[in-house]
Copies of this chain bind each other. A is one copy, B any other.
């Protein structure tokens, strides 16, 4: 199992703030994410700007694509994304359309696990050649105090066993990392925890925990 990567989610409402944060974390993160908030605030110029400034990082555009897959995917890959996110609620034809464009660019699709998705849905994604999915506590669920549950963990394990690499997000702290051992974890995603003044120390603590379990 490959070692999980660290991903920063840039969810600023303006590009200047996102650029500042990306500069401050680039030496200790592997993946830079243009969050949905930033993408809707500034459009694809957020992706192209970060692509230019960080040519060697994996860049993901978190569009949570739900429809219009071919056009949205092309916009994001043309702007320089390596990965884009697609909602688990999207029609399978939308997911297939995104995958086709991703293949053209040598990119990847990550399924964002929101809504009442089932393992039968997940099998369809795997059958299309999708390799990644993102599991998270919703930001709003997190704000409402809903924690990682045994059900979360068993669903992640089931997806991992189908062959999907999981990106895991939602208030990730070093003390949580051990919960995910045995899961095919692609990235751990954090935002404020990595962007703060203690971001480098948090990244080191996360990596130390990752090294224990992968």
Contact = CB atoms under 8 A, between A and B. Distances in A.
Interface in A71-117: 71-72, 75-76, 87-91, 93-94, 96-97, 112, 114-117
Interface stretch (A60-68, A125-133, A177-185): A60-68
B115 A41 contact: no
Contact of A116 (B40, B46, B115, B139): B115
- Copies of this chain in its oligomeric complex: 2
Interface stretch (A21-29, A140-148, A160-168, A203-211): A140-148
Nearest to A69: B140
Given A43-B42, A144-B93, A68 B116 contact: no
A146 B115 CA distance: 23
A138 interface: yes
A118 interface: yes
A18 interface: no
Contacts of A144: 93
Nearest to A46: B43
Given A35-B68, A90-B140, A114-B115, 17 more contacts: A36-B67, A36-B68, A37-B68, A40-B43, A41-B75, A43-B45, A66-B66, A66-B114, A67-B114, A87-B89, A87-B115, A89-B89, A93-B144, A94-B141, A115-B116, A116-B116, A116-B121
Interface of A: 11, 13, 35-37, 39-46, 63-64, 66-72, 75-76, 87-91, 93-94, 96-97, 112, 114-118, 121, 136, 138-141, 143-144, 146
**Chain A to chain B: the 8 pairs with minimum beta-carbon distance, closest first:** A89-B115, A89-B89, A43-B43, A93-B140, A91-B138, A116-B116, A115-B115, A89-B114
